[in-house]
Amino acid sequence: MTKNPLVLACVFDNPMQASIAAGMLESEGIISMLTNTEFSSIYPLGNPAISGVRMMVYESDLPRALDLLRAHGDLNE
């Protein structure tokens, strides 16, 4: 059995942005998982390291997911 862990792809300021990006990835066949959505809604102006919505993807999908997020304007580089 090959291991394919979830890894952090991106951190968003709010759940709506994260959901839109997750839908875009899903339409391209990439499964993602959003974490910290509740805390970011309660404490939206906090430190993104604490309150940001984290998008996780499978490690094998990370390069393609980052390319798509970059093309969609979701990565602040």
- How far apart, in whole angstroms, are the C-alpha atoms of residue 19 and residue 55? 9
Class of 6-72 in CATH: alpha beta
Give residue-wise pLDDT tens across range 10-57. Answer: 998 888 999 999 999 999 999 999 998 766 555 555 555 566 889 999
In SS3 terms, 15-59 reads as HHHHHHHHHHHHHCCCCEEEECHHHHHHCCCCCHHHHCEEEEEEH
Q: Which pTM value belongs to this model? A: 0.82
User: Is 2 strand, coil or helix?
Assistant: coil
- How far apart, in whole angstroms, are the C-alpha atoms of residue 10 and residue 74? 8
